[in-house]
Each structure stands twice: as structure tokens, then as C-alpha cells.
């Protein structure tokens, strides 16, 4: 059935959000909808119910569609481990490591896989909303592209281009993106969407009309800046460095609980702390230098795609010493996945870094990396409350002190994680999304930090909050986009005969003007 590609003028222009919004809008109309991203590069990922790994954005888009996430929604996931190499996850399973150049040689085969996967979804669903990657105007990458116009050409997808006006220069971005494409790619661009506008839309009208006049393509709408939208960011670039996450509500009690999260260079699943930030009276801040820990009540060490390298960064930045001092003062420190591994005595990593290093020594554990990645969705109890989560890691606990209690008791009785005084850790992502556990955890953290005036709210429902935000996205589409035009684009594709702009269409324009080539 029908499909549509949402491309962007830049990274973080709003592709993921617009794709999720379109998914929600169509699902609320009663359509059977699926999300799709041929190739995602992100260290924010989730485990599907069947045990495969996909980008977190596609899991959120699946929630917008009202369907369970599955590996076909994101057939290729690249997880950067350094500036030059990434782990390849193909249809949910690890399929080796690549550099930028070696990956280029694999793309032809991968294009066959992603097109076949997309064909399957289009046969099963009424609509498939596809999200591009980066920008389609990265002409240095076009010859081997499988995520933007390479996919659109192979699958015949009409394409929307979204630009972020909050960054400035949106008209140049939209025009330039179209103009740099070759004629066959330009023929698939059906229109534009302007994202994150603040102010009176009438001020934009002359520019929108001129853009249509010079490109032949309409702007299908202007999405306003929505202060309430902050959950489930595609990656940590969406968060302001040393900035507060979310929109913290005033405390229920007399005191705030201040949470500091080191923003690791290869941070993974940064969204783990968003459930904490959703709580009234909890101020969660990413930090990059040790002075920011001076007034923190709780430190959360997040996940990492490169545990040893990020541990080295913690030490070189002075944050490791500040975390040790925080723990020595009996103030709470919690590690998640890679952050949990950093809290151990020793890390033997023969997979990512090929080295063995001392951990921070705050939990009596030893970690050893295995070639096979753990991908599970376990359940258990923590702080006396039922919990669920998901695991994505190579590191395994191979030794633990006899007196170290677990943080989570698994359903099968095995220990998971550990707690030693004010220090705790777990391999589980998503643990804070369990409402009753999160409240008990916050009580524990506040007690450890002597913040007796902090009181956890008793009615924060994180899953409901996510659904509210997805409904807000659907509302934005209904109120601010030309939905009839979008349906025509979905059902009928891009009209023929649209103008071809130079320089991408320079040869075609020269030919139409009777200018020959020597």
C-alpha cells in the first residue's frame, strides 16, 4: 500500500518527530500504520518483544501507530563506538563492525535488504511512514545512499522535506536541499514542512509563497514550537549540554531533588533519565565537568557504547574523582548498563576496546565482555516493586562480592545489579519507567542525600505521559498541516511535471533551453 519518506534539511530537523506525528494522525483515522527507517545511526536503542535491537525512535513511532516494535521497522542500525567505526545491527542482530569506507562497500547488499523489508511492510499495512537519515543533500554520500533518496528511488516513495526554522535560514535550507538533488530525485520531492516556528505564522506567508513560486512545491504546513514536547529524543544531541532535561514541575514537598548525569562522549540510551525528569520536584541535568556535581543530590552514570573509552574520559575530565567524592560522602550514585560497569572493580573488555582496566571500584563486581550481545526483556522486583526493563550489552558480571546485595531480583531468582550503601547499579534500561519502583527509588535517593523535604508524587504515570505527547503530535498535524494534501501525496504520489532546479538539474535545464554539450 502507500508509503511516504520524511527527509530533513539537517540532522535533528524534526524527521523523527514529524514521522511519529504522521503515524499518530493516520492511526487515529483508523488506518493500519507502520514506521520504517532503513538505516539509523544512534546509540539509543531498544529490544523488541522478540529479542531484536532497533533504534529507539522507531519504537516510539511504533507506539504512535499503536503496534509493537519489530526489527523490520529499522532493518539497519549503526551504533558508533568511535568517530571512525560503528557496530552494524542487521534486522536486530549484530552483523560486524565497519568504518565509513568499509560500510560503503556493504550498502548495495543492504539496499536489497531494506527494500525487500519495506515491500513486506507495505503489503501488510495501509501506510508506511519512512524516516530519512541526516540530509538527502549530502551529495558526497548519494551514490551509495540507502536511507534517503536512494531508498525513495528504489521504492518509489513520495518525499516530504522538513526544516527547523528555530536554527535560522530555513528557506535556504529547503531550497538548497531540493536544488542539490539530481532530476530523478527532485521528481520525488512533493513538498515541505517548516518545524519549530515561534510567533505569528502570517509573518512567514510571503516566504512560503515565494518558495512555492520558485520550486513549484507547496509548504504543507508550519508546525509551531511546542514546549511540552521533550520525551524520547533521537539522540543526546537533542539535549543542551549542562542543561536541564524536560520541563520540571514544582516539588510536591519543600525541596527539589537535583540529579546530575555525566554526558559521556558515547552515551547510549540517554532517555533512561527522562522518567526521572518527568517527576515533579526532580531537576535532571546533563553535566560535562566536575563543578556541576558540587550541588547534586544524585549522580546517574548512563549507558555507553564504549565503556572503557568513556571511563577514560570520566577520569581525564575530573568527573571520576568528583563521583568518587560524591559516593564517599554517602550521597547516592546509580549506574545504568555501561555506567554500572564503570562502577565495578575491574573491566576486561576484549570486544570494544581490547583492554582490561580498573573500574571506579564503587561496587564489588568484575565485568568481562563477551562477543555475543545480551538482548533481553527481563522482569523481576526491585525495592519491593514489580519491574520490567531491557538489556543491551556485551559486558557480563563474572564475579561479585559475597556480601553485595542485588538491586533487582529476577523472576527466576537470579541477582541483577548491586547495591552497596549509597551506590547502586544495573544493566537494565527502562527501569525508571516503572512508576511504583521509580517512586521508591526516589525516596531512597532523597533519604541517602538527606533531602528530607523532597516528596515523590504519587500520581506520575510515565507511560500515560508518553501517550499524551504522541496525541499532541497527532493534534499538531491535524491543526497545522494540510492533511488533504498529505493524503493525496500518500495515495497518489508526487504530481508529474514539477520544476527541476539547478545545479542538480542543470543539465536537464540546459537541454530544455537548447544548450548542447560539447
Which residues partner with 425 through β-bridges? 335, 418
> Which residue among the candidates 394, 427, 429, 480 is catalytic per the annotation?
429
Q: Rounded to the nearest 5 degrees, what angle is found at the Cα of 25, between the Cα atoms of 20 and 30?
A: 125
Reported as type and span, the H/E element at residue 514 is none
C-alpha distances in angstroms, 97 versus 73, 345, 355, 375, 386?
A: 21, 28, 17, 18, 37
Whether residue 312 lies in the annotated active site: no
Q: How far from chain centre, in Å, is Cα 324?
A: 30
CA distance 507 to 332: 64
Q: How would DSSP label each residue in 396-456?
A: EEEEE-TT---SEEETTS-EESEEETTEEEES-BSGGGSHHHHHHHHHHHHHHTT-TT---
In which order are the strands placed within the sheet that holds 391-400?
A: 355-358, 346-349, 365-376, 391-400
Alpha-carbon gap, residue 209 to 202, rounded angstroms? 11
Q: Grid coordinates in use for 39?
A: 538505516
Cis previous bond, 503, omega within 30: yes
Q: How far apart are CA 98 and CA 432, in angstroms?
A: 33
Q: Backbone phi, then psi, for 196, in 5-degree steps? A: 65, 45
CB 223 within 8 A of CB 425: no
Place of cell 514542512: 193
Query: Which residues, listed in sequence order, are joined to residue 299 by a DSSP beta bridge?
Result: 260, 333
| DSSP single-letter state for residue 318 | T
Which three three-digit cell numbers place residue 463? 507511560
Could you say which of 337, 393, 427, 480 is catalytic?
337
Distance separating alpha carbons of residues 439 and 434, to the nearest angstrom: 9
Strands (E) in 214-256, as ranges, are 219-224
Decide if 129 contacts 19 (C-beta within 8 A). yes
CA dist 284 and 299 (Å) reads: 10
* C-alpha cell belonging to residue 265: 562522549
Q: Is 65 a catalytic residue?
A: no
Pull the grid cell for residue 75: 532493518
Question: CB under 8 Å to 334, separation ≥6 — which residues?
Answer: 298, 299, 300, 301, 423, 424, 425, 445
Q: 77 is written with which cell numbers?
A: 542500525
The residues carrying an active-site annotation are 337, 429
Amino acid at each position: 500500500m502507500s508509503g511516504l519518506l520524511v527527509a530533513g534539511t539537517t540532522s535533528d530537523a524534526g524527521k523523527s518527530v514529524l514521522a511519529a506525528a504522521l503515524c499518530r494522525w493516520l492511526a487515529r483515522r483508523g488506518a493500519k500504520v507502520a514506521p520504517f527507517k532503513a538505516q539509523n545511526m544512534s546509540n539509543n536503542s531498544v529490544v523488541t518483544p522478540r529479542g531484536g535491537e532497533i533504534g529507539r525512535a522507531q519504537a516510539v513511532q511504533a507506539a504512535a501507530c499503536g503496534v509493537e516494535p519489530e526489527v523490520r521497522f529499522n532493518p539497519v542500525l549503526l551504533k558508533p563506538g568511535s568517530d571512525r567505526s560503528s557496530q552494524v545491527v542487521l534486522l536486530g542482530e549484530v552483523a560486524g563492525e565497519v568504518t565509513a569506507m568499509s560500510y560503503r562497500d556493504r550498502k548495495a547488499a543492504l539496499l536489497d535488504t531494506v527494500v525487500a523489508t519495506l515491500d513486506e511492510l507495505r503489503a501488510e499495512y495501509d501506510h508506511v511512514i519512512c524516516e530519512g537519515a541526516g540530509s538527502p543533500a549530502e551529495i558526497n554520500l548519494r551514490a551509495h545512499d540507502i536511507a534517503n533518496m536512494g531508498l525513495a528511488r528504489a521504492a518509489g516513495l513520495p518525499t516530504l522535506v522538513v526544516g527547523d526554522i528555530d536554527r535560522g535560514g530555513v528557506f535556504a535550507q529547503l531550497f538548497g536541499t531540493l536544488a542539490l538533488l539530481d532530476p530523478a530525485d527532485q521528481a520525488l520531492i512533493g513538498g515541505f514542512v517548516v518545524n519549530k516556528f515561534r510567533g505569528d505564522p502570517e509573518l512567514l506567508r510571503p516566504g512560503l509563497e515565494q518558495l512555492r513560486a520558485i520550486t513549484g512545491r507547496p509548504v504543507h504546513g508550519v508546525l509551531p514550537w511546542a514546549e511540552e514536547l521533550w520525551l524520547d529524543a533521537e539522540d543526546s544531541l537533542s539535549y543542551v549540554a549542562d542543561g536541564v532535561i524536560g520541563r520540571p514541575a514544582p516539588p510536591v514537598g519543600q525541596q527539589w531533588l537535583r540529579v546530575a548525569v555525566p554526558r559521556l562522549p558515547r552515551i547510549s540510551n540517554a532517555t533512561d533519565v527522562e522518567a526521572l525528569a518527568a517527576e515533579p520536584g526532580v531537576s535532571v541535568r546533563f553535566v560535562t565537568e566536575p563543578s556541576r556535581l558540587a550541588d547534586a543530590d544524585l549522580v546517574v552514570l548512563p549507558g555507553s557504547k564504549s565503556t572503557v573509552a568513556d571511563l577514560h574520559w570520566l577520569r581525564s575530565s575530573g568527573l571520576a574523582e568528583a563521583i568518587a567524592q560524591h559516593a564517599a560522602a554517602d550521597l547516592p550514585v546509580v549506574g545504568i548498563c555501561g555506567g554500572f560497569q564503570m562502577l565495578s572493580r575491574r573491566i576486561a573488555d576484549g570486544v570494544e576496546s581490547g583492554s582490561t582496566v580498573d573500574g571506579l571500584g564503587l561496587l564489588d563486581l568484575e565485568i568481562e565482555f563477551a562477543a555475543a550481545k545480551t538482548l533481553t526483556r527481563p522482569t523481576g522486583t526491585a525495592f519491593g516493586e514489580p519491574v520490567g526493563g531491557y538489556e543491551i550489552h556485551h559486558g557480563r558480571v563474572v564475579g561479585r562480592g559475597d556480601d553485595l546485595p542485588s538491586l533487582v531480583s529476577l523472576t527466576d531468582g537470579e541477582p541483577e545489579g548491586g547495591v552497596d550503601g549509597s551506590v547502586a547499579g544495573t544493566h537494565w534500561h527502562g527501569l525508571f519507567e516503572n512508576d511504583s519502583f521509580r517512586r521508591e527509588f526516589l525516596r531512597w535517593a532523597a533519604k541517602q542525600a538527606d533531602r528530607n523535604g523532597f516528596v515523590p508524587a504519587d500520581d506520575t504515570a510515565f507511560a500515560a505521559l508518553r501517550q499524551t505527547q504522541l496525541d499532541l503530535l497527532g493534534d499538531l498535524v491535524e491543526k497545522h498541516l494540510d492533511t488533504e494534501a498529505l493524503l493525496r501525496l500518500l495515495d497518489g504520489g508526487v504530481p508529474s511535471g514539477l520544476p527541476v532546479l539547478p545545479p542538480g538539474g542543470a543539465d536537464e535545464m540546459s537541454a530544455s533551453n537548447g544548450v548542447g554539450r560539447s
